[in-house]
Amino acid sequence: MLTYTGVHLDRISQTGHAVLFLHAFPLSSVMWVEQLGSMFQHRVAAIAPNIYGVEGSDTKEPWSFADYCDELAPLLGDLGIVRATVVGLSMGGYQAFELYRRYPGIVNSMVLCDTRAEADTPEALENRWAFIEAVTNNGPEEAYERMLPNVFAPGAAESNPLMAETFRSIIVHQSTQAITSAMRAIAERPDSTAMLDTITCPVTLVTGREDSLTPPSLARSMHNRITDSTLHILPGAGHLSNMEQPAAFNDLLLDHLGRTGELPEA
């Protein structure tokens, strides 16, 4: 069983549509609090699930993104969601690709944020296995210490200490197993670059201008290959653009919903 946070789920019976928020590593659905608030304000049904072992979701060891999507799809069906606007950030973007690969009929459109289609290089894989070993030995605090220098735009953590503390509290609240098994799923994910040319649903790409983990050049490359895509580079944001620039991010999401006909009339 996967746990989730949802808003306006009663509206699903009317439209069959919901926004599906897929969270980043090593975070949880809590990272989407500003976006869920925006969806609530605009009367849009939305669900933000938690991966295995996070916020009460069942544990699974090991697991893959295919496993996750095979459990996610029936959950959406049980809620009456027949088409979803899939919003995935970083690891959530990898899951969005897998969901489209396995269940394209569910994916009405996608918002791919601060992510990449490529599989890891040998150097990146080496870093991921080292991360797993370090967190296994030292616990969730190790994950926080390793992630913090890379996720935010320069000075963002200092200027927004509440955001930085939220980031830390989500990570250290998790178990070592939940973090390491998720990193293993990331390391073992398939390459999705060949799929880019086959994506036929509307796609919005959002990346922080200061994102050093998945820089804007990767978003531009995906934009060039996905036929029906729109690209936005958010100033003042690093890898967690939705947390660093929530108002601008929400505006882009609402614009996407408006263009795809999934935003209720005021």
Query: The whole model's pTM is what?
Result: 0.97
Helix/strand/coil for 80: coil
> Roughly what angle, to the nearest 10 degrees, separates helices 65-78 and 91-102?
70
Is 202 part of a structural domain of the chain? yes
Is 168 part of a structural domain of the chain? no
Is 73 part of a structural domain of the chain? yes
Neighbours of 9 (CB within 10 A): 15
Is 107 part of a structural domain of the chain? yes
| pLDDT per residue as tens, the chain (266 positions) | 999 999 999 999 999 999 999 999 999 999 999 999 999 999 999 999 999 999 999 999 999 999 999 999 999 999 999 999 999 999 999 999 999 999 999 999 999 999 999 999 999 999 999 999 999 999 999 999 999 999 999 999 999 999 999 999 999 999 999 999 999 999 999 999 999 999 999 999 999 999 999 999 999 999 999 999 999 999 999 999 999 999 999 999 999 999 999 998 76
- Structural domain harbouring 44: 4-118+191-259
Helix/strand/coil for 16: coil
Is 221 part of a structural domain of the chain? yes
Is 110 part of a structural domain of the chain? yes
Q: What pLDDT digit, counting tens, does each position of 172-210 carry?
A: 999 999 999 999 999 999 999 999 999 999 999 999 999
Is 162 part of a structural domain of the chain? no
CA dihedral 159, 139, 179, 158 (to 10 degrees): 0
* Pair 145, 168: CB distance under 8 Å: no
- Count of structural domains within the chain: 1
Which residue, chain included where needed, has tokens 């999401």? 253
Task: Give me 23's structure tokens.
Answer: 């969270």
* Pair 40, 185: CB distance under 8 Å: no
The amino acid occupying position 164 is A
Q: φ, ψ for residue 189 (rounded to 5)? A: -70, 155
Q: What pLDDT digit, counting tens, does each position of 98-134 carry?
A: 999 999 999 999 999 999 999 999 999 999 999 999 9
Residue 243, domain CATH: 3.40.50.1820
Q: What is the DSSP letter of 220?
A: H
Is 180 part of a structural domain of the chain? no
